[in-house]
């Protein structure tokens, strides 16, 4: 047998062992590697490790929100309120810190509670009243955004010394560093991987996304699980808002507009099926890194409009939605 025949045989064997649902994640990983390689070849200094670490520093809040969105999409749902909840979290934080003089730690607890309660209420409405997640979370989006402007129509700067110290902190990694934004996002990632991979709750999330009716017949706690994933999404949105204030040291009612679409894009590009039941939170991380590397390349290019970011993301979404369709058709045959 020739070398070519041996290589072809091994490749065919690998395809048979590789589940089809892993294909989108591998494609995303290959895409990120390709884009990162092109950046290294084209731009001086792109190979610097700090450029890679900056993907987590600059997109820490998006990663936290996208992880929460992954839980929701895995059940076959959607959450359009996350961007507005992020903005509301920044407004509540900045207002209480700057104008009311509250303790920063009390502010964090209150903000996380607000996000979790909003997510819990939307989850209850979706399950017990059998309303489409799109409609419920759309209402939540308008509600949270309206509350932002009730607090203030202007941007509020954060001057609290503790908050500023947290925002300025840099974890040294030799000649490189990570900010608290990146550290928090990586901790959330580790917890999410553990929950989805090694807990009964994680198995229930995948089961409901695969078939909610089958999950009910199996006696799984569908109501509790569905409400929990929206609560998690609300919590992650509030935490993402806190992380964003570490990054911007301000709150604004018009902040995070369109963030919900970026989070959905990261999840889909990361290989999670929009219909639910299949996907990996690690794929979401790669999806966020792909979005981040696109923006980084545009910044290095210098003369390209930032609108190209949206154009490229739109193209990638079309490609990955088609890829998901191919995967689903392959599973049926």
pLDDT (tens digit per residue) in 296-309: 888 887 776 667 77
Range of the domain at 42: 20-332
177 in a structural domain: yes
pLDDT, one tens digit per residue, over 191-236 is 999 999 999 999 999 999 988 888 888 888 989 999 999 999 999 9
Q: Give dist(CA 260, CA 82) in Å, integer.
A: 5
Q: What is the pLDDT of residue 327?
A: 61
Instruction: Over range 270-299, report the average pLDDT.
Output: 88
What integer best gives the mean pLDDT of the chain? 87
11 in a structural domain: no
Instruction: Over range 305-317, report the average pLDDT.
Output: 76
Name the more confident of 121 and 322.
Answer: 121
CA-wise closest residue to 263 among 59, 126, 3: 59
Q: Give dist(CA 142, CA 84) in Å, integer.
A: 8
Question: Has residue 128 got a pLDDT over 60?
Answer: yes
In DSSP terms, which residues pair with 157 in a beta bridge? 250
97, 158 Cβ separation under 8 angstroms: yes
Instruction: Over range 62-88, report the average pLDDT.
Output: 95
Q: How many domains does the chain have?
A: 1
Residue/partner pairs of 116-120 with CB below 8 Å, 24 or more apart? 116/231, 116/234, 116/235, 116/238, 117/234, 118/81, 118/85, 118/143, 118/144, 118/234, 119/79, 119/85, 119/230, 119/231, 119/232, 119/233, 119/234, 119/235, 119/237, 120/227, 120/230, 120/231, 120/234
* Exposure on the CB side of residue 14, measured as CA atoms within 13 A: 8
Task: Specify the range with the lowest mean pLDDT, choosing from 154-163, 294-303, 304-313.
Answer: 304-313
pLDDT class of 20 with cuts at 50, 70, 90: low
Q: What is the pLDDT of residue 118?
A: 96
Structure tokens at 186: 């990586």
Name the more confident of 121 and 279.
Answer: 121
Q: What pTM, to 2 d.p., does this model score?
A: 0.90
Q: What is the pLDDT of residue 325?
A: 66
pLDDT class of 6 with cuts at 50, 70, 90: very low
149 in a structural domain: yes
80 in a structural domain: yes
15 in a structural domain: no
Task: Specify the range with the lowest mean pLDDT, choosing from 83-97, 109-123, 317-331.
Answer: 317-331
CATH at 168: 1.10.3470
Instruction: Over range 121-146, report the average pLDDT.
Output: 94
In DSSP terms, which residues pair with 156 in a beta bridge? 251
273 in a structural domain: yes
Q: What is the pLDDT of residue 64?
A: 97
Q: What is the pLDDT of residue 119?
A: 96
3 in a structural domain: no
Name the more confident of 236 and 331.
Answer: 236
173 in a structural domain: yes
């Amino acid at each position: 047998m020739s070398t070519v025949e041996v290589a072809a045989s091994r490749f065919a064997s690998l395809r048979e062992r590789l589940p089809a649902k892993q294909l989108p994640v591998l494609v995303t990983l290959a895409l990120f590697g390709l884009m990162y390689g092109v950046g290294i070849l084209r731009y001086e200094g792109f190979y610097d490790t700090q450029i890679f670490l900056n993907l987590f520093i600059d997109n820490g809040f998006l990663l936290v929100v996208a992880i929460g969105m992954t839980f929701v999409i895995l059940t076959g749902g959607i959450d359009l309120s996350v961007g507005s909840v992020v903005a509301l979290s920044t407004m509540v934080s900045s207002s209480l810190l700057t104008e009311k003089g509250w303790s920063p730690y009390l502010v964090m607890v209150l903000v996380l509670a607000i996000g979790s309660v909003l997510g819990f209420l939307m989850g209850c409405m979706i399950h017990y009243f059998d309303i489409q997640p799109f409609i419920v979370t759309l209402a939540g989006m308008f509600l949270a955004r309206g509350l932002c402007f009730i607090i203030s129509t202007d941007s509020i700067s954060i001057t609290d010394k503790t908050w500023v110290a947290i925002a300025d902190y840099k974890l040294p990694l030799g000649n490189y560093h990570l900010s608290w934004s990146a550290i928090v996002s990586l901790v959330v990632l580790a917890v999410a991987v553990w929950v989805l991979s090694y807990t009964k709750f994680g198995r229930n999330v995948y089961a409901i996304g695969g078939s909610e009716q089958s999950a009910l017949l199996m006696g799984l706690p569908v109501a509790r699980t569905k409400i929990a994933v929206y609560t998690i999404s609300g919590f992650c949105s509030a935490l993402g808002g806190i992380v964003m204030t570490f990054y911007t040291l301000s709150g604004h009612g018009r902040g995070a507009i369109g963030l919900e679409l970026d989070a959905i894009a990261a999840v889909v590009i990361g290989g999670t099926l929009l219909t639910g039941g299949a996907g990996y939170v690690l794929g979401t991380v790669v999806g966020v890194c792909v979005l981040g590397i696109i923006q980084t390349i545009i910044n290095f290019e210098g003369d390209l409009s930032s609108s190209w970011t949206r154009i490229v993301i739109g193209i990638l979404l079309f490609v990955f939605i088609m890829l998901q369709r191919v995967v689903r058709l392959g599973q049926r045959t």
